[in-house]
C-alpha cells in the first residue's frame, strides 16, 4: 500500500493577507528575514532565522533562537513541538492557521479561505505564493 502524501500549509489569519495560503513545499521550511529563508517577512520583530517547520512522519515547529519567540496556540515553545491540524502558529506580528492533511482533501473552500495562487488545473503554485509573501508580510 502506497503512503499518502502529507500536505502542509500555513493560512495567514491576520493583516492584509488574511486568508492567503502558503504551501510548505520542503521538509525543512525556514521563516526569517535572511535571503535564504523560504518565507521572508519584513517585520523587525522577526529574526533572520526565526522558525523552522519540519515535515516528516509528523509536522513540528522549532524556534531557531529567535529574539521574540514562537507561539503555538498562545504558548511560547522552548523545544521542537508537534503541530496539529488547526493549531495557531504565531511569531512577532505573524499569525497562521496550520492546515495538515494526508492527501490534500481538506479544501480551501471548507475552511472559507480564498487562495489566489492556483494554477489552471487547481493546484497551488508555490512560487507565486512565495513572491507575494516575501513582499507583503
pLDDT per position as a tens digit, 17-52: 899 999 999 999 999 999 999 999 999 999 999 999
Asked if residue 113 has pLDDT above 90, the reply is: no
Predicted model pTM: 0.74
Torsions phi, psi of 130, nearest 5? -65, -45
Residue 99 pLDDT grade (very low, low, confident, very high; cuts 50, 70, 90) = very high
Average pLDDT, the chain: 80
Cα dihedral across residues 101, 106, 111, 112: positive or negative: positive
Amino acid at each position: 500500500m502506497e503512503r499518502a502524501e502529507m500536505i502542509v500549509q500555513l493560512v495567514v489569519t491576520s493583516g492584509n493577507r488574511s486568508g492567503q495560503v502558503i504551501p510548505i513545499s520542503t521538509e525543512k521550511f525556514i521563516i526569517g528575514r535572511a535571503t535564504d529563508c523560504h518565507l521572508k517577512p519584513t517585520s523587525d520583530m522577526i529574526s533572520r532565522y526565526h522558525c523552522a517547520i519540519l515535515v516528516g512522519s509528523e509536522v513540528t515547529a522549532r524556534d531557531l533562537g529567535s529574539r521574540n519567540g514562537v507561539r503555538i496556540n498562545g504558548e511560547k515553545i522552548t523545544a521542537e513541538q508537534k503541530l496539529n491540524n488547526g493549531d495557531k502558529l504565531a511569531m512577532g506580528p505573524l499569525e497562521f492557521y496550520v492546515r495538515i492533511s494526508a492527501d490534500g482533501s481538506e479544501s480551501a473552500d471548507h475552511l472559507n479561505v480564498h487562495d489566489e495562487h492556483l494554477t489552471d488545473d487547481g493546484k497551488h503554485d508555490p512560487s507565486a505564493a512565495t513572491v507575494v509573501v516575501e513582499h507583503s508580510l
